[in-house]
Amino acid sequence: MSSTDCPCGSGRSYADCCGPSIAGTVRPETALSLMRSRYTAFAMNDIDYLRATWHPGTRPTDFAPDASTKWIGLKILATDAGGPGDSEGRVEFIARYKIQGRAHRLHERSRFVRDAGRWCYLDGDPNPV
């Protein structure tokens, strides 16, 4: 991956993928595009974007991810709804990361909803069957 590749693993450049969403110049049109941009925000430690895209009813007040976490890969396993005309959707993924050089994986089925016309992360089911 080059320095201009988007961290979400889409194969596109950051400027043509998650960059505009994180910069606030475009809104993600699908639950999947929001999922990718949130992964990228985790990789870049952009806490403001993560808070802004978390549903206000489930967003923790003390959210502070560990800045030393190194996010190293995202694999999308499945999507259910979450398109431009939908009001909710799900994205199942595996995100790989390292903490102090030790590898970990997060397997989650995330739920996304539209709130005031914008896609938001609602919650997730860790280690879905």
Which DSSP category does 99 fall into? E
Over the stretch 81-109, which tens digit does the pLDDT of each residue have? 999 999 999 999 999 999 999 999 999 99
Q: Taking Cα atoms as reference points, which of 73, 77, 90, 97 lies closest to residue 30?
A: 90
Q: Tell me how crowded residue 22 is: count the other CB atoms within 10 A of its CB.
A: 22
Over the stretch 42-85, which tens digit does the pLDDT of each residue have? 999 999 999 999 999 999 999 888 888 999 999 999 999 999 99
For domain 14-126, give its CATH number from 3.30.40.10, 1.10.3720.10, 3.10.450.50, 3.90.1200.10.
3.10.450.50
Range in 4-8, 16-20, 64-68, 109-113 the model is least confident about: 64-68
Going across the sheet that includes 70-81, the strands are 70-81, 88-99, 102-115, 118-126
Q: Is the pTM of this model over 0.85?
A: yes
Among left, alpha and beta (phi > 0; psi -120 to 50; other), residue 112 is beta
User: In this model, does residue 2 exceed pLDDT 60?
Assistant: no
Q: Which two tokens stand for residue 108?
A: 């989650």
What residues does each domain of the chain span?
Answer: 14-126
